[in-house]
Amino acid sequence: MSTHDKHITRFTFDCPSDLHSTVKMKALAVKQSVKDYLISLIIKDISANPPQFMDKVSFQEHLKTALEKDQNLMRKLTDR
């Protein structure tokens, strides 16, 4: 995958050493760099599970519901 002519954004993250070693081995097995291997996994996931965008009102409703569920869960846990 060539990204020389596209806008590029760098993202960096920490991961456990054993996971990093496994990813390096998987990338090597398919003759890709770790970067290209991870990008291909992201593209594959997005293709299989496209993001669902919603309008601001729907987002606010979903957020409110999630926060209420989280609040109820925290209440139950503290009551124990």
Question: From CA 3, how far away is CA 66, in angstroms rounded?
Answer: 37
Residues 17, 41, single domain; the answer is: yes
pLDDT digits (tens, 9 = 90+) for 23-72: 999 999 999 999 999 999 999 999 998 888 878 888 888 888 888 888 87
The parent domain of residue 38 ranges over 13-49
Does 75 score more than 70 pLDDT? yes
Residue with token string 């097995």: 29
Question: From CA 6, how far away is CA 26, in angstroms rounded?
Answer: 26
Residues 65, 40, single domain; the answer is: no
Residues 18, 45, single domain; the answer is: yes
pLDDT digits (tens, 9 = 90+) for 4-29: 667 888 989 999 999 999 999 999 99
Q: How many domains would you assign to the chain?
A: 2
Residues 17, 45, single domain; the answer is: yes
pLDDT of residue 19: 95
Report yes or no on 8 lying in a domain: no
Residues 41, 58, single domain; the answer is: no
Question: From CA 38, how far away is CA 52, in angstroms rounded?
Answer: 22
Residues 42, 57, single domain; the answer is: no
